[in-house]
Amino acid sequence: MRRLVLAAFAAAALAGPAFAANEAPKTVAPKFETVPQDAVLSYNLIGLTVTDAQNGTVGEIKDLVIEHEKLAGYIVSVGGFLGMGEHYVAVSPNSIAIGYDADAKKWKAVIGATKDQLKSAPEFKYDGKFKR
């Protein structure tokens, strides 16, 4: 009987953290927004080719950096072929001009840097908490 009581107590003690981990996070009432016509959505940015001022391809936007609910940067891949040998750099949102070309019906991204300048920039690595 004593073993049964101890086993039940141990099971209850071990189950406590499991219940806490499965509790729903606290929620906040949603605040609804109107999306302005000049806004760009993330799916338009991810995979967008980045060109230089001479319209030469220098990279591709691979990811967005969000910090404190605001866009803090773009992760741009430079070089490589089929995902091999890519060099990633994090650039400020102000570094890339994003716009919609109505004539071509596509989004454009232009940076004031060459491919070589981006390749020599400090590398961003997808590791630790940023591991893909």
Q: pLDDT tens, 82-106? A: 666 789 999 999 999 999 999 999 9
Residue 78 lies in a domain: yes
Residue 115 lies in a domain: yes
Query: How far is residue 104's CA from residue 15's CA, in Å, rounded to a whole number?
Result: 59
Residue 25 lies in a domain: no
Residue 33 lies in a domain: no
pLDDT the model gives residue 129 = 85
pLDDT the model gives residue 3 = 42
Domain that holds residue 102: 42-126
Q: Report residues of the chain scoring pLDDT below 70.
A: 1-22, 81-84
Residue 60 lies in a domain: yes
Residue 4 lies in a domain: no
Residue 6 lies in a domain: no
Query: How far is residue 124's CA from residue 121's CA, in Å, rounded to a whole number?
Result: 9
Q: CB–CB of 46/62 below 8 Å? A: yes
What total of structural domains would you count in the chain? 1
pLDDT the model gives residue 79 = 83
Q: Which two tokens stand for residue 64?
A: 């967005």
Query: How far is residue 127's CA from residue 50's CA, in Å, rounded to a whole number?
Result: 24
Q: What is the pTM of this model?
A: 0.74
